[in-house]
Chain A
Amino acid sequence: MAPSPIIRLSKVSKSFKDVQAIKDLSFTVSKGEIVGLLGPNGAGKTTVVRLINGVIAADAGTVEIFGQSPLAESNSIRSRTGVLTESAGLYGHMTAKENLAFFARIYGVQDYPSRIDMLLQEFGLAEYKDRKAETFSTGMRKRLGIAKALIHRPDVLFLDEPTTGLDPEASRDLLGYIKELNARDGVTIVLATHLLRQVQELCHRFLFLHRGQLIESGTLRQLEDKYLKSFQVKVESDLKVEGPSYRGFPLQQVEPGVLIFTVETKSQVPELLRQILSEASVYSAEILGRDLETLYFNVRGNFRG
């Protein structure tokens, strides 16, 4: 049986003056999931995070988290959620330790000195604990921002563009922390981003937003099955082939020793490889065009169409 939803939005709409930010949005998030809220800038990702946390009110529809309305039970809900905003929301004139101590007091955390030490250690900031946050690099600020969002051991963590402005190494480290946090502590994570490549391996499920509407959702496998009508398999092999196909599979030779085959279903891939292996060597094989970015553009194209 699927776990019960921890977050539920039903036909939610929200406008700011004349701009419709969210329109008829419905989705659920289950306990322990990492859900990617994907879409370009202005798609409504940040507004969704704000609605779920009850800092803004929906014009229509219902928002529930932990089975309660975030507007009615706002403070009890906010004490169970952590939010990393895009700017990280830190006080530059305060040290890393002072920032965490301040938020610990705001969230009513008991025995926070040990919790602070643990988080600083975990996020690789222990040796910088007495440095002012304004002297930190973007990566360090984001790490401190997540530590701040986790100070009160939230059940749900919202991360708004957590890797924006980070170099590839810092992004990888940060996403590693997030994955570990989910696996170890079971924290439900809602991650709003437009950087698709980075979250492909991290998220269990994806919600695609476009102009405030949910245009698609599902796991990578579900999206693949729905949107990829044929598969291209790139094979590095010493197979000698003449002509535009090999045993009924259309092919292109992109360079000597590299062939790209087209198959209709994924289940044809093992058969293709078996046949090649029966007469030549295979050094590598990779299905092309199944990454999240390609799927995203397929979804967008389909929606427009």
Chain B
Amino acid sequence: MDRRAMWAIAIKDIKAIRSSVQVWLPMILVPIVMCALIPGGMIYGVRRFGIEGMGNMGNMDSLAKLIDSLPPGSLRDTITSFDSPEKQVLYFVLNHLFVSFFLIIPLMLSSVITANSFAVEKERGTLETLLFSPVEIRTLFAGKVLSAFIPGMAVTFLCGLVYGIVVNVLAYPLFEELIFPTLNWAVLLLWTIPAVILFAIFINVIISAKVKGFQEAYQLSGLLVLPVLALVLGQALGALVLDTQWLLWGGAMVLALAMGMLGFISRHFDRNRLFESQVS
């Protein structure tokens, strides 16, 4: 593989993110909203108004049921070890429910970046020029994958950092200890999310190669968020606990699926097929 060409493609595509508002706006807004405003507002609200003042969250019966429904283990033990309902709720929401929220961010961003990088090349006629060059198809794909993987991971880590600062700074007066990160977060950020990003990129490569433009690619890739929303719902209803084991196994499964798709891509996308399907 020609590493020089691969990095040239990756860097070019990363720079292109700046010129597309459809891409960079969600990259900024989603992390700010999901990693700073929502958790920050929640902690502030609980500290200021107490559980009773927080509407539905103050429904202690359902919270107690939810915590009771957690399987025996470290999460349940940790939560029940807190002496106040405020701490129990916040710990449960911040270190449990937000884990699945965190999966949505990289999934969405890497989908947008990949859809943008392939479909825009196609729309603007630059893919044709790239296919006329001596760059190997696997080098082209590797460059494209890197161009979505690197920003996806960078935003994920940035989100983790911002989230950690917001949570620890705002929740410290209540807990009098740092509650972030836990082992779950480490596994999520270093194992599960990279696997999810790769999965999202590969599936978007396939989608982008089949559709005509960015909008279509982006709309189809939006369907990817549905399984993650199911996870969020499952967690919120207490039907599912994304503990460390789950995150490890889930990451492994998603990675295996991603590798399967990589195999599909390498078998089905040679230069001639790509050219005939992508260039009119």
Contacts and interface: CB of A to CB of B under 8 A. Distances in A.
Q: Does A associate with B in a complex?
A: yes
Contact of A89 (B18, B129, B136): B129
Contact of A103 (B16, B128, B133, B136): B133
Contacts of B271: 54-55, 74
B49 interface: no
Given A89-B125, A91-B12, A107 B275 contact: no
A75 B8 contact: no
A85 B129 contact: yes
Given A75-B134, A107-B134, 19 more contacts: A55-B128, A55-B132, A55-B272, A55-B279, A57-B272, A74-B134, A75-B136, A87-B128, A89-B128, A90-B126, A91-B12, A91-B16, A93-B15, A105-B5, A105-B7, A105-B8, A106-B134, A106-B135, A108-B134
A16 B275 CA distance: 12
Given A89-B125, A93-B16, A94-B12, A50 B4 contact: no
Contacts of A92: 19, 124
A232 interface: no
A231 B15 CA distance: 61
A16 B276 contact: yes
Interface string B116-147: 00000000111011111111100000000000
Interface string A203-236: 0000000000000000000000000000000000
Contacts of B132: 53, 55, 78, 81, 83, 85, 89
Nearest to A86: B125
A106 B130 contact: yes
A272 to B, nearest CB: 52
A76 interface: yes
26 contacts: A56-B272, A56-B275, A56-B276, A71-B272, A74-B134, A83-B129, A83-B132, A86-B125, A87-B125, A89-B125, A89-B130, A90-B126, A91-B126, A92-B19, A93-B16, A94-B12, A103-B133, A105-B7, A105-B8, A106-B5, A106-B9, A106-B133, A106-B135, A107-B133, A107-B134, A108-B5
Nearest to B125: A87
Contacts of B16: 91, 93
A79 interface: yes
Interface string B243-274: 00000000000000000000000000001100
Contacts of B136: 75
Contacts of A106: 5, 8-9, 130, 133-135
Nearest to B133: A106
A284 to B, nearest CB: 46
Most buried by A among B7, B126, B133: B133
A87 B124 contact: yes
